[in-house]
Amino acid sequence: MLLLGSPGVGKGTQADILAALWGIPKISTGDILRANVSKGTALGVQASDVMRRGDLVPDHLITEMVADRLSASDTVRGFILDGFPRTIQQALWLGDYLAISRWNGRLAIVSMQMDSPKIIERIVNRRICPTCKTTYNIHSMPPKLEGRCDRDGSVLIQRNDDKIDVIEQRFEVFRQETEPLIKHYQDHPVFMEVCADRPTSVVTEEIITGIELRSKFNSGKGDDSAS
């Protein structure tokens, strides 16, 4: 399954919940890149400035990284992509890759939507745990102890690119490069749109119901396009 939506719409939170529920991995290209940046790998060095500016890392680096991650054994029963694909080129690559893969081209797409003023507020108030990657919001989803992760006690941080001066650029990149993917996928048999401006659990339930319904409907028609 893949989650589409602008920065801050809640893709990561939904991906975490669904991955735990279905027992499949969440694959966040942003998380993999940030891990490479902090380890100082060759990929991290190439990606670091681009990410700090709020631009996109070149497609060929990203697809190589995703192919490598998808080849791991924990993806056998499926996976949830968070933050990939972000360009038409990446989506075309994914389609080709899945078509000849162990998943037989099967894919479910969830497009999450929300008005941008609310998203900006969410992003500037977002804090993450550098250890376990749990995401908090200092107003709507604060940790029990201020500034500390509930799970492992690490000091929460703000992502460099969650700062106000970079956010506008990230939205612009989303509008230019990623939004066209909604059109690209909207006639796919297992495509759904969900309003993300509601409590997390409501959004999760709607995604689960929507995906199950569409998958059943399509398998009834002889197309087993379930995630």
Question: How far apart, in whole angstroms, are the C-alpha atoms of residue 108 and residue 196?
Answer: 17
Choosing from 26, 69, 122, 126, which is the catalytic residue?
126
Q: What is the DSSP letter of 58?
A: P
Contact flag: residue 83 with ligand AMP (CB under 6 A): yes
Collect all residues with Cβ–Cβ distance below 8 Å to 217 and sequence separation of at least 6: none
Contact flag: residue 57 with ligand AMP (CB under 6 A): yes
Classified as helix, coil or strand, 73 is helix
Q: Which residues of 26-58 are buried (b: 16+ CB within 10 A; e: fewer)?
A: bbbbbebbbebbeeeeebbeebbeebeebbbbe
Q: Which is nearer to ligand AMP, 64 or 205 (CB)?
A: 64
Whether 53 is catalytic is no
Q: Which is nearer to ligand AMP, 57 or 192 (CB)?
A: 57
Whether 126 is catalytic is yes
Task: Give the one residue of 14, 43, 84, 91 binding ligand AMP; rule: CB under 6 A.
Answer: 84
Number of neighbours of residue 132 by Cβ within 10 angstroms: 11
Question: How far apart, in whole angstroms, are the C-alpha atoms of residue 194 and residue 197?
Answer: 9
Contact flag: residue 30 with ligand AMP (CB under 6 A): yes
Contact flag: residue 86 with ligand AMP (CB under 6 A): yes
Collect all residues with Cβ–Cβ distance below 8 Å to 106 and sequence separation of at least 6: 98, 224, 225, 226, 227
Task: Give the one residue of 51, 108, 194, 207 binding ligand AMP; rule: CB under 6 A.
Answer: 51
Whether 198 is catalytic is no
Query: Residue 223 in contact with residue 202, Cβ under 8 Å?
Result: no
Choosing from 26, 34, 69, 86, which is the catalytic residue?
86
Contact flag: residue 56 with ligand AMP (CB under 6 A): yes
Contact flag: residue 7 with ligand AMP (CB under 6 A): yes
Contact flag: residue 120 with ligand AMP (CB under 6 A): no
Q: Which is nearer to ligand AMP, 66 or 211 (CB)?
A: 66
Beta strands in the chain (DSSP E): 2-4, 26-28, 80-82, 109-113, 126-128, 135-137, 191-195
Task: Give the one residue of 170, 189, 191, 192 binding ligand AMP; rule: CB under 6 A.
Answer: 170
Task: Give the one residue of 10, 54, 143, 189 binding ligand AMP; rule: CB under 6 A.
Answer: 54
Contact flag: residue 127 with ligand AMP (CB under 6 A): no
Question: How far apart, in whole angstroms, are the C-alpha atoms of residue 25 and residue 76?
Answer: 10
Contact flag: residue 50 with ligand AMP (CB under 6 A): yes
Contact flag: residue 109 with ligand AMP (CB under 6 A): no
Residues that bind ligand AMP (CB under 6 A): 7, 29-30, 33, 50-51, 54-57, 62, 83-84, 86, 90, 161, 170
> Which residues carry out catalysis?
11, 86, 126, 159, 170
